[in-house]
Each structure stands twice: as C-alpha cells, then as structure tokens.
Structure 1
C-alpha cells in the first residue's frame, strides 16, 4: 500500500457553501454566555417543571428575536443538566433523608436504610412502614420482588416487595430505590430486607430473569427457593415461538398447561405431551 503522509486538494465545490457572516459571530460557542438573571430564571422554571424549550421561547419573546440573545436553546438545556438538576438532586436527597427520619420518629416500627453517594446523591434506599412489617408476619412466606420500573427524573430504579394476603390480593411489604442493578447493590438491599424482617429467611421469592438478583439471593438467602416470575416468562411466548406455523395454537395450549396444571406431577405430564405434540423438544 502506498504511504500517503499528506493530502492533495484535487477539486473545490462551492455550491453548498456560504460566505462568512461576521454579524453572527456571537453564536459561536466561545462568544455565548448566560447572565446571572437568565440562570436564576432557568432555575425557577425548572423547579416549576416548565420545559426547557418553553423557557427558551420566553426569553426569545422578551428579547424580540433569538438573534438578540447571547445564548441558544442548547445552552439552556446544558445549564439545567450541569447545574440545576444536580443542585435539586442533592437538596432532594437530603430532604428525602429528613422525611424518612420524621417517619421513624412518628412510629418506631418504621424501618429504613439510606446509602448516599458522596453524602449528596441517593445510591441505595430501602424502607418499610409498620403496617408492611406486620403484614409480612402473616403473608411473607413467598414474596415477589420487582424492579421493572425506573424513575425518569433521577434515573433511579424503583423496586418493590409484594406478598399475597388471604383474599388473594397483593399486599405491599417494602420499597427500594437503587442507582445500579449490580450484584453488590442487590446484596445491600437483601441484607437490609433481612434486617427489616428480623433475619427470617423467606420460603420463596419470585423475580424477573436477572443474573445479579439471582446471585445476590444465593449469597444472602441460600435456603430460599428462587423462581422466575411467571408473568415475565409468559410475556416472551410471542417472540420465542412466533417462528412456528401453529404458533397461535402453541400459545393457547402452553397457557393451558401452565395455568391449569395444579400439581407438579400433572404439569410434568402435560408439559411432556405438549412438547411432543408440537415437536418442540429441540427448542431451548
């Protein structure tokens, strides 16, 4: 291959170019700036949940034209990301901690653990009120743990511990906020959960198919039977079996086998018959 250590200009096309505009030099990044008044206004609007685009348009309307401003809409968004939300997140983390303390003062059976990152931002949080802890004593033998929700403002994972009462109704047993979904985060959570319930190991726990959760359960609750949530499994039927010609029949019969086999022996027998009927023995 020929070694090329320099560029050679062979052709210049000016059709899609334009002359320099000295009157627009203030739009270059090094010439743009946001005044203290604008900063305070942006902060006020962000606290009032006014969209950044709306905030910028208000500045444009007040100035008479966007050309009369020393900044662009991107500068407003960058300021919110860089300054405002960090300040609010720090303040709100402190307020959240104070709120948990107040709840504890009102009722000593209120349980919480709060782990802040650099004493400013929420890294892990777990709490359960007195009613949830009392409910666990009656309906805490098998618990569902779900982390499929995510708070959009602070990008924290919201997790919940849920049991089923004697009326077949879901009952709330505890709640968590987490920055990360790694093994150490779940290990921290399950250790808090065990402390909350007096170290009593669960008979069973249902979760989604998350390797980090599975490993943390093995470390913290080795005697607890861990099973994947049936809702998450059944939700994947369409994507996993859609390639089969009789996928609609397969889906209906699979649901019948899963939901109407009330004993382990009946399920095993029905499942084997189901695999043979549709030739699914080789499907992982």
Structure 2
C-alpha cells in the first residue's frame, strides 16, 4: 500500500493485493459484526456479576452450556465489555440519596463546591463528578493543561475512578476534580 499526504490528509494512492488470503468461515465469528451477547446471556452475566462470580468463571460456564467455544458467538472480552457498560453503582437503598445530600451540604457550606450526578432509567447512580473550592480555584490558575485518567478502579463498585489533574507552577500534580463513571465508553465521557 502506498500513501501520500494531500491537503493535510493521508490518501491511499495504490494497493497491492499480491499477498492476500481468503477469509476463514470458522474464524468469521470473531469479527465484531458477528459477535453478539444476546439478551439471555446478558441476564446470566448480570446475575453472576451481582453474585460476585468472576467473569472467567461465568464465561467458562456459558461455553460449557453451549457445547464448546466454537458454538459461542462472542468472546470473554465481549462479556467483560458488556458488564463494564451495564454496571451501575450499587449503593444499596438510600446510598445515592445519601451521596446527593452530602454534596448538597457541601454546596451549602461553600458555593464553589460543584457536583453533578447522572441517574439511569431506574434512578440508580450511573456517574458522578465533583470538584471542591480549592480544586476549582486551582483550575483557574493551572487549567491550561489538564489530564484525564480512568486507570483507577474502585474495588467495591468496579467503576472507573476518573481524575482531572493539572500541574502547578512548581511542576507538582494537583487534583482539579474527580468522578466515578459506569463505563469507559464514549457516551460516559461526553
């Protein structure tokens, strides 16, 4: 393949198909368009997740039930992706309300405290963001470069903990805000 830069964009100028292979029917199930975690499998995954059954055990049980890997139209990673997308903060009765009231008390103490909570259709906490007065003040001075990091997981809820970090005039990292999100997909970040 030859590529050329034209008007600031990469354009393919020629393609050589001299070393190509036909598609394997057996392996076509691995293409994203052919992988599907259907509704009955999603129910099993949700139930097992709530019972704290590890994903590899859940997936192996699904494979055994289907009669082998070749009969399962999805992989373990697809199951993990589904659970990560579907997982919500399970705070128990009144937990989300307690968090909401805590944030309201913080806002009453200081007008510069900011929080935002997103609920799903069942009024369960889907994501939350907060920044205290010090963090917001620091953002005004040091917000020209901000990193967003979701590599931390909370053990109890399995939700990514997101940090917004800047750098002060001493070259030190400073926290500008934080949040919990139900999954690391595009919709969660917008």
TM-score when scaled to structure 2? 0.50
Q: CA RMSD in A?
A: 1.7
For 1:86-97, list aligned pairs within 5 A: 88-97=91-100
Residue 89 of structure 1: SS of its match in structure 2? Answer: coil
Q: CA deviation at 1:173?
A: 0.1
- With over 3 angstroms needed to count, the CA separation of the structure-2 counterparts of 1:130 and 1:101, relative to structure 1, is same
Choose which of 122, 129, 132 in structure 2 pairs with 1:129: 132
Q: Which has the higher strand share?
A: 2
Give the whole-Å Cα distance in 2 for the aligned partners of 1:132 and 1:168.
16
What is the aligned length?
102
Change in Cα spacing, 1:90 to 1:179, as seen in structure 2 (3 Å) is farther
Q: Secondary structure at the match of 2:97?
A: helix
Residue of structure 2 in register with 1:101 after alignment = 104
Matches within 5 A, 1:105-184: 105-118=108-121, 120-184=123-187
Runs of 4+ in 1 over 6 A off after TM superposition: none
Unmatched tracts of structure 1, length 5 or more: 1-84, 188-284
The separation in 2 between residues aligned to 1:106 and 1:180, in whole angstroms, is: 31
Which structure has more relative contact order (CA 8 Å, sep 6+)? It is 2
Q: Which has the higher helix share?
A: 1
Secondary structure of the corresponding residue to residue 147 of structure 2 = strand
How far did 1:118 drift?
A: 3.6
Distance 1:184 1:90 in 2: 26
State how 1:246-257 maps to structure 2 within 5 Å. none
Q: Displacement, 1:156?
A: 1.5
- Say which one has the larger Rg: 1
Structure 1 residue 119, shift from structure 2 partner: 5.4
Residue 157 of structure 2: SS of its match in structure 1? coil
1:213-228 equivalences under 5 Å are: none
